[in-house]
Structure 1
Amino acid sequence: MATPRFVGRDRELAVLRGALARPPAIVLVEGEAGIGKSRLLREWSATPDRHTALVSVCPPLRESLTLGPIVDAFQDIEHPLPGEGLTELAGALRPLFPEWSSSLPPALPPLDDAKAARHRLFRALNELLRALRVDVLVLEDAHWADEVTCEFLLFVISRQQSGGPSLVISYRPEEVADGSLLLRLTSRLPAGVTQLRIALAPMRPADTAALVSSMLDGEPISQEFTTFMHGRTGGVPLAVEESVRLMCDRADIVFRDGQWVRLKLRELRVPPTVRDSTRERVSRLSPSAQQVLRAAATLAGRSSTATIAATANLSPAVCRAAIAEAAGAGVLDGDEHGWWRFRHVLAATAVYEAIPLTDRRHFHLLAGRALEQLRPPPVARLAHHFREARETNSWLRYAEQGAELAIASGDHTKAVDLLVDLLSRAVLPPVDRARVAGIAGVAALGRREQVDEVYHRVIRTLRSVLGTPGLSARQQAEIRNPLGRLLITVGEAQAALSELEQAVDNLDHDPVEAARAMTYLGWAYAGPWPASTHRRWLDRAAALTARIDSPEQRLNLAGNRAAALLMLGEQEAWDVVAGLPADGSTAAERLDVARIHVNVGTGALIWGRYTDAEHHLAVALRLAEAEQASRLQHNVRLEQANLAWNTGRWDGLAETSAALADADRDRPAHYLGSMRLAARLAAATGRRRAAEEQFRLVLEESARLGAADDTMEAAAALARLWLTDGDGRRALRITDEPMDTVRRKGVWIWATDLVPARVEALLATGDPAAAKILTDRFARGLRGRTAPAPRAALALCRALLLGASGDHARAATAFDRTARAWNVLPRPYDALRARERQAEALVAQGRIEAGRELLAVQYEQLFRLGARGDADRLAQLLREHGAEVPRLWRGGRRGYGDQLSPRELDVVQLVVAGKTNRQISRILAKSPATVDQQLRAAMRKLKVSSRTALAVKAVEAGVFADEV
């Protein structure tokens, strides 16, 4: 059998050469496994074109090494580093290339900002590429590349117009994960450079026949054989090659009458997968060749003969002969430097899975010892091998080194994976277990991704480590501190404060972390402590902060303290807020500033200072978007949605609420926030059952999580629903516990919704004295605070007391004053409801006509706002008072009549395209309920009763004539 000839890719090779002849160029080579991407690049590199190419290959590691492919590519350089072209910046390369220490400038001082350190490293690598005069940088199998390697490629692309190498990147589109930076690289190619995308397709039957023939002495094959091979392999070159080799090994084809034919037409069993053919072919090799293949499969990457020999436990001479045998059989593939690997990962997997479990540990141990000889050592691969070998000490050492490198490169998720895997599977001494757990917790806090299973896995792991016997108080504190902050992130407020309280007294060796923990303990959202206790924690944090030298740390602590003071209702917080910066000089500073502003925005919402809230949330969103902090962006958008609700900007709010809830399902506190928003809308639009169920969920889950402040509005909303039913006692009971929390903690700015509902419930159950006492206590709690929303609520309470006393004239004036107070914020929905009460007071006073007119105005304004449920209630009141209800338009969009509205057209078009309601809701960013409503409206207008009939009628009616 001969080596297969390069078949069916002449056009692709020609355009590849043409693109690289017009530098700078970006060439993307995509295709499925075995389609011939690597063969195409090998053919190009073998051409006599004058170019200096650096070839980088991404190994299929379970935990890919940060920047590993790029570093490995430079190791192929045989000549020394150039004497010119490198500046002091190249000192940043010393950790990656210790073997070049004599040729590199001195090491640079470390940077605190991991993103800045990564940027400096990218600049140094780019400078090295230019100094070595690399014309083309090739990255093979980029679907296995780590995120930092992809970021480096984006960095190189951004600088191509000023010189630098062309890029050739091969990858499998189907194996590129959602969210991978490779998608950005392949979808946003820059202008001004030569661009080429080569999508390799399966071979045609004629090319399949030519490939098979090239392996069989160049002789032709029969038409039946061609049809069989193409039909069974799909024209994938790798599958064709493997099938031919297997058939030759089994003597299933013969040369007859001048062409190759299959010996057994029906009985021939061509293996359906490359795995099966690889295993059978490997089993026919000599024992030493099989041992080499097991070693290569264990190494799972291109390796030198020496590394394979050490892993296979063979002498160099025997190993070279075995490699030659395996290469001759087409299993191994070598490069010009004598490094070997399986021709494809499926073959390697097949061999690896065939290794008995009892032997795998030994192979991994030998692989680890062999890779330790490389410089620099591939720490992630070493951690993997020593883990599989159950060599705990070595696994620990390399996992920590790999995590450190990942954190320095900004890849906190990789660091978390390495360390949590170690903690979960290894038996470590308490001191090591505690140290690794602390590092894992800090690494998890550095992640920018949305809350996902990684966060919960870290939390479970840290809690497990805390149960380790023999941990000192200090070791426990260094675990509880990040654990508490992670619990805040996932919404377990009560548990978070418990962990932080246990940690804080044993963090005296680290003033910054101690002050940070005290600040978190100063947040009043959870726990049984009164406001004075939270304030003492904040004062202790302030005293400690004053002794910290770092301006950045002082800013972070002072800003978080100000936000915590806002939650406590402390007026002095606004003095600190006024001096907050709106930007930072580093990525870490910008993220800190963004977090502070979003917390201040939340506090401003509670106070009712909506202009301030809008400003601070806008600053937070700008910084979060600039730093691509997705979790923080979701925080801001939820608070902006709350602001939109309060200020009466309800258009599209239902869709926003649904999108937020879908995105935040793994973050209980934020999910409940979006659910609370949905419940408000349901109550206002008259969907009573949905509102009640959603508010109950928010109340119960917030109480379970210990988020005391989140129970207030839900309890008040349920009380209002039951008061409309005349069930004052039930309304009183639901507000008991939240009201006790407010009294106990003494944070009265939380009670904007709660106290008026409680006062009304007390009045409804015949206890005006208790209602008066509560109103007076509310007034004392707000004394000295510029909190417009709670003060408007206080005005409402006083108006309710006047109405209950029978002084309807003064009550009408008080409700008017209340409405004006709400409008100043502005908070139009509450203002309209206050006007409704004013109208009722006017009617009770005997000013029936004035009351009717005011009710009619409120009916129309509530209807326009979107509070259809309240509008319907007012319509009933108008009828009871003998007034005519204004006729308001209630259809779809005004003016469309029996014609489909633009929004209905969008829905119908997607129905015609075969999309489900759920898919349509995602595509149009609408809630499923909205999609269903618009779909039913379209069916009614087109007089059909099924989706199929709707699609047919729409097309027949020429609705989509242009598109068709």
Structure 2
Amino acid sequence: MENSLVGRQAELAVLRAALDRSARGPVVVAISGDPGIGKTRLLGELGADGSRRGCLVLAGRAAEFEREVPFGTVKNALADHVGSWSEALDDADVRLLGTVFPGLVRPDDTAGPPLLPGERYRVHRAVRALLEAMASDSGLVLILDDLHWSDEGSLELLDHLLRHPPRGGVLVALAYRPRQVEARLGRAVAAAVQRGLATVVTVGPFSRAEADALLPAGLSPSRLRQLYEASAGNPFHLELLARGPDDGEAALPAALAGEFSGLDRLHRRILYAAAVAGDDVDVGLLAAVADLPLSDVLPALDDLTGRDLIRPYGTGGAFRFRHPLLRSAAYQQAGAGWRLAAHARAARELGRRGAPVADRATHVQASAPVGDLAAVRLLQAAAMDAMRITPAAAAHWLQAALRLLPGEPGTVDTRLELLNLRAQALGITGRLAESRELFGQILAMLPSGTEPRVAVVSFLTMVQHLLGEHGEARALVLREMQQWPDHGSAAAAGALRVAQALTTLMSGPAEDTAVEAAIGTARETGSRALLAAALGVGVVASQAFGRPGGQARAWLDEAAELIDAMPDQEVAQRLDTALFLGWGELYLERYPAALRHLQRALHVARATGQSHLIGSLQTIEAVAHCATGDLPRALSALDDAMESVVLTGGRDAYPRVLGYQCWARVWTGDVDEALTLGEQAVALARGRSVQDWQSAVAEGMLGWARYAAGDPDGCSEVMLEAGRGPDLPAVRPLWQPRWFEVLTAAAAAAGDRRRAADLAARAARLPAIAGRPRRAGMIAMAQVHAGLHVDPQAAAGHAVRAAALFTRAGDRLGTAQALFYSAVAHREIGDPDEAARAVVAARLKLAGCGARPHWLARATGIALDDEAPARRDDPAKTYGITVRESDVLALLAESLTAAAIARRLGISAGTVHKHLAALYRKLGTGDRLATVLRARALGLVAADGEG
């Protein structure tokens, strides 16, 4: 029966088609089905087919009782092959792989940045590079079975690979039970299916004919029927039941237990020991766990393999059960007391061998008694080993250690340490709500007025901010301040004041009194780091909420002077100090200084193992790169920030990072991707229960993407709704100039010159702020958009001024955009030489930024390069018809209704009607038929009979 596959021809056809496609690029196939349904057998057929085609085939599987071994599933597949492929990788990837595969010979570990838990996506990228190298010769088939039991580290890696598949001929085949698989993997597979990367094969029960073909010949019709009904068509259950007696009662549990019924005590003991020891157990470990001499174990193994209960696996003398269900049955049958002693023997033997601490921890947690402090220390060591690459495993080991820790007064400090580590591990792995609860428990154990308590409060408020619970964070800090004792630490009191100022900033608008109190209290403490943090929060608050006065510049100068005088060790004590400084410098348009301080903070974070701010630092660094036009670095930093957000679950940061990715993609010319990112950002921002002062970021980015996509009405719709009207009262003053510029451009593109003039006038009334040339450049660009076709002479002056302002700010993209419009205006006023000079300068700026804004070429009629001149005779441009309006017009000419057009374009019927109204206005028509006839006469759509 083993060598002849029964049925499954449709499933095999899907797998072979996936193998065919993998010759052209990455493919994922997921096999989903109940226990015993035949998933593993199908994977075996796929592997054999891959081998026949010359592919490298690697296979691994998760194990039910070893779910906390970091990257256990992946190591099971790749560990024996990593070394032979490491020469194809760069040193940085080899160093990172060494954190997962300890046996790998690594280059000098000091040569690259240390790995932070929040940056464990770097390990995922290194594994992806390894898979690409393995596939480079003749293709790779990577088979991972039983993923419903997989460790968290392997699941995180698979999530990454499904979002960023390896390049080249890589087929990743996954198998799992649908009702037991982690939701994370299920969502990742579903998203990969939507993108066309993955195919799901759902394996169901055999038909009656297939079941009969699987069973031994000679069985009576009644026995065949009985077996089929009892097994429900499950192949493993069929075979198991068929092995049992024909007693008329085909019961699966009895059949499973019957697999061991003919074994004597010795053979049972060895089988139980194999179940405890784990998958791929070697003979020496098996003998130690069974507490039997090797001379007894070896012949018994021959008998057990002859009965097909266990099978040799690989070439290293390892054994595994024929099926995981058999291992589970043997483990349960062994008895709780026997298992406890067996796990203890396994832990001792692995300790004697010097095995990895995670392998020993699996058995220690299953056998150590409460009060075993040596076991507590070992579990803590396992947690610290796992923290960087699989913090979820670290959280598990720390919970096990806490369970073993006795409740004695002398262990309070150890309990606090373990709780604190576990709270951090949970936070890093994205289980923020659990982390918050643990920090609450820690607070209850700490006395008021102490620095350790304030440190926990600071961490807890950070977690609450990541969860979007800004009001709760503020209430916590205020409660701590109200309960502050007279004898409390001055430094701790200052830290609380800074935390209070930050909570008012996040919930917005910031309270001036809280900011000033924080700065004043910080000065009294004499702590440079605390004072710099308070000053930085003050700068961010004053700029975000449009506070008057030049106080912010003085605060920022003082904070920068303090930070620059501090050694890294001092900065490390309050890493958020550098974050606030860089944030404030970004707001005050001091981009080189912001990048310098943010990059220093990232260096200090990695050197000191501080992961909690890494995503925020990367996001602000990316925004600074965006503002200066360094798109490659901006996108790289945003990719890093997004991976950090995905791993840590910071739902408050998710829409923000998506929004900035949308912004960057508009400039690279990937407008469709920008629209997708913007839509995702808005959906997430609107889905939050609490809207903070940063919520409008997503709508602003989506609006600009819609404008770039040729949908100015859609742009105006989303931005005016989010801004709550043309005065934009819901938009922070910091962002209003940018919003007015985009809205003015959208109104002008839609042909609504009156609205464009009104929006430009509102922009011009914004207060001028000294030292903010980029802000002034955006206001000037609003005047350009409004006046380009009304008063080109004035528009030319505004465009030249905008270009000069953006240049002074260091914004190369803004400069290029202003120069393009300057060229248009100078052409309009009859100055072709100045127009030509502006175009040459603009093209050089865009090339240096890595930008390809096709929308800008379309809006101005100026090509991005000499080889692709823009068409000047485009009738759509002549009449101000946008790309989206052209789409609507083309479908209108096909006699589609507004509802049908909406379905075809993926927009609302209301938006279609707005486009129709704009078309009527621009073409001077009043109904659908007149509009189509007019469009045909002008060449906007093909005439009847034309293709």
Give 2:664's aligned residue.
Answer: none
For 1:891-931, what per-residue CA distance to the aligned partner results, in whole angstroms no more than 9, with x for missing partners?
Answer: xxxxxxxxxxx99xx9xxxxxxxxxxxxxxxxx9xxxxxxx
Counterparts of 1:507-656 in structure 2, within 5 Å, are 519-523=498-502, 535-541=516-522, 547=528, 559-562=536-539, 576=584, 577-579=587-589, 591-592=615-616, 628=645, 632-634=650-652
Match among 446, 459, 476 for residue 439 of structure 2: 459
8 Å Cα contact 1:30-1:198 kept in structure 2: yes
Shift of 1:366: 2.0
Per the alignment, residue 400 of structure 1 pairs with 380
What SS is found at the alignment partner of 1:7?
Answer: coil
Q: Which residue of 2 aligns with 1:231?
A: 229
Distance 2:686 2:131 in 1: 43
Q: Which amino acid aligns with 1:166?
A: L
User: How far is the alpha carbon of 1:33 from its aligned partner?
Assistant: 1.3
Q: Which residue of 2 aligns with 1:168?
A: 173
Distance in 2 between the 1:123 and 1:545 partners? 49
Does residue 78 of structure 2 align to residue 74 of structure 1? yes
Closer/same/farther in 2, CA of residues 325 and 139 from structure 1, 3 Å limit: same
Contact 2:86–2:130 at 8 Å: present in 1 too?
no
Q: How many residues were matched structurally? A: 617
2:24 is the counterpart of 1:52? no
- Partner of 2:422, secondary structure, is helix
Q: Would you say the 8 A contact 2:311–2:319 is kept in 1?
A: yes
Change (3 A) 1:234 1:433: same
Write the distance in 1 (CA, Å) between the matches of 2:20 and 2:494.
Answer: 60
Q: Is the 8 A contact 1:26 1:166 kept in 2?
A: yes
Closer, same or farther: CA 116–152 of 1 in aligned 2, 3 Å: closer
Distance 1:562 1:531, change over 3 A: closer
1:435 and 2:412 matched: no
Q: Distance in 2 between matches of 1:504 and 1:318?
A: 73
Render the CA deviation track for 1:350-377: whole Å, top value 9, x for unaligned: 3333343333321221232344467762
Q: For residues 759-908 of structure 1, what are the structure 2 equivalents within 5 Å?
A: none
From 88, 91, 103, the counterpart of 1:88: 91
Residues 211-248 of structure 1: per-residue CA shift (max 9 Å, x gap)? 221xxxxx33222222221121111111112212232x
Which of 247, 250, 270 in structure 1 is aligned with 2:250? 270
CA contact (8 A) 1:556 1:596 kept: no
Q: Residue 101 of structure 2 corresponds to which residue in structure 1?
A: 97
CA distance, structure 2, for counterparts of residue 124 and residue 625 of structure 1: 19
Aligned equivalent of 1:287: 265
* Cα distance in 1 between the residues matched to 2:85 and 2:186: 32
C-alpha distance in 2, partners of 1:566/1:522?
A: 14
Quick one: structure 1 residues 66 and 366, their matched pair in 2 at CA, closer, same or farther if it must change by over 3 Å? same
Q: What is the distance in 1 between the residues matched to 2:5 and 2:242? A: 16
Letter in 2 for 1:139: L
- Tell whether 2:25 aligns with 1:32: no
SS of the residue corresponding to residue 183 of structure 2 reads coil
Inter-CA distance 346–492: structure 2 relative to 1 (3 Å threshold):
farther
One-letter code of the match for 2:459?
P
* 1:365 aligned residue (344, 350, 355): 344
Q: Deviations over 1:13-61 (max 9, x none)?
A: 4664564366444333322211111123334545672443221212224
Counterpart amino acid of residue 58 in structure 1 = A
Give the one of 178, 185, 189 matched to 1:180.
Answer: 185
The residue matched to 2:215 in structure 1 has which SS? helix
CA distance in 2, matches of 1:579, 1:163: 42
**Equivalent in the alignment of 2:851:** none
Q: Secondary structure at the match of 1:408?
A: coil
Match of 2:459 among 470, 482, 506: 482
- Could you tell me how far apart the structure 2 residues matched to 1:229 and 1:62 are? 34
Q: How does 1:344-423 map to 2 (within 5 A)?
A: 344-372=323-351, 377=356, 379=358, 381-390=359-368, 392-393=372-373, 395-409=375-389, 411-423=390-402
Given that 1:92 and 1:124 are in contact with CA atoms closer than 8 Å, whether structure 2 keeps it comes out as no
Which one of the candidate residues 203, 209, 212 is aligned to 2:206? 203
2:416 alignment partner AA = A
Q: In structure 2, do the counterparts of structure 1 residues 514 and 76 end up closer, same or farther at CA, with 3 Å as the change threshold?
A: farther
SS in 2 for 1:168: strand
Matched, 1:321 2:321: no
Query: Secondary structure of the equivalent of 2:362?
Result: helix
State the Cα deviation string for residues 493-520 of structure 1 (Å, max 9, x = none). Answer: 4444566897999999xx9x99865521
Q: Partner residue of 2:145?
A: 140
Rounded to whole Å, the distance in 2 between the matches of 1:637 and 1:92 is: 29
Q: Report the 3-state secondary structure (helix = DSSP H, G, I; strand = E; otherwise coil) of the residue aligned with 1:175.
A: coil
Q: CA RMSD in A?
A: 5.9
Residue ranges of structure 2 left out of the alignment (5+ in a row): 506-510, 554-583, 603-610, 622-636, 659-680, 696-728, 735-761, 767-897, 903-907, 909-947
Q: Using the TM superposition, give the Cα deviation of residue 568 of structure 1 relative to its aligned residue in structure 2, in angstroms.
A: 11
- The separation in 1 between residues aligned to 2:422 and 2:230, in whole angstroms, is 49
Equivalent position SS for 1:81: helix
Q: d(CA) in 1 for partners of 2:339 and 2:449? A: 38
Q: Is the 8 A contact 1:82 1:131 kept in 2?
A: no
Distance 1:474 1:269, change over 3 A: farther
TM superposition shift of 1:662: 8.8
Name the TM-score, length of structure 1 as normaliser: 0.52
Are residues 545 and 29 of structure 1, via their aligned partners in 2, closer, same or farther at CA, if it must alter by over 3 Å? farther
Matching of residues 688-727 of structure 1 within 5 Å = none
Match of 1:138, SS state, is strand
1:308 aligns to what?
286
Q: Is the 8 A contact 2:280 2:313 kept in 1?
A: no
Structure 2 vs 1, CA of residues 423 and 160 (structure 1 numbering), >3 Å: closer, same or farther? Answer: closer
The answer as to whether partners of 2:501 and 2:515 remain within 8 angstroms in 1 is yes
Over 3 Å counting, the alpha-carbon distance change for 1:205 and 1:139 in structure 2 is same
In structure 2, the residue matched to 1:221 is 219
Q: Can you list the C-alpha shifts for 1:767-824, whole angstroms capped at 9, x where unaligned?
A: xxxxxxxxxxxxxxxxxxx99xxxxxxxxxxxxxxxxxxxxxxxxxxxxxxxxx9xx9
Query: Structure 1 CA distance, aligned partners of 2:496 and 2:343?
Result: 43
The answer to whether the aligner puts 1:212 opposite 2:215 as a matched pair is yes
For structure 1, list consecutive stretches of 5 or more residues without a partner in the other structure: 214-218, 253-263, 598-619, 641-655, 675-751, 753-785, 788-820, 826-901, 907-923, 925-964
Query: Aligned-pair distance for 1:522?
Result: 3.9
Shift of 1:157: 6.4
Q: CA deviation at 1:104?
A: 5.8
Q: In structure 1, how many angstroms separate the alpha carbons of the residues matched to 2:132 and 2:108?
A: 13
User: What do the CA deviations read for 1:716-754 (whole angstroms, capped 9, x no partner)?
Assistant: xxxxxxxxxxxxxxxxxxxxxxxxxxxxxxxxxxxx9xx
Query: After alignment, is 199-208 or 156-165 more displaced?
Result: 156-165
CA distance in 1, matches of 2:654, 2:191: 30
CA contact (8 A) 1:484 1:497 kept: no
Q: 1:425 deviation in Å? A: 4.7
Alignment match, 1:856: none
Give the percent of matched residue pairs that are identical in Structure 1 and Structure 2. 20
Alpha-carbon distance in 2 for matches of 1:82, 1:621: 30
- Aligned residue identity for 2:8: R
TM-superposed CA distance for 1:431, in Å, is 4.1
Deviation sequence 1:161-207 (CA, Å, 0-9, x none): 7435432222223323333366347734766x8x7654322112122
2:6 corresponds to: 7
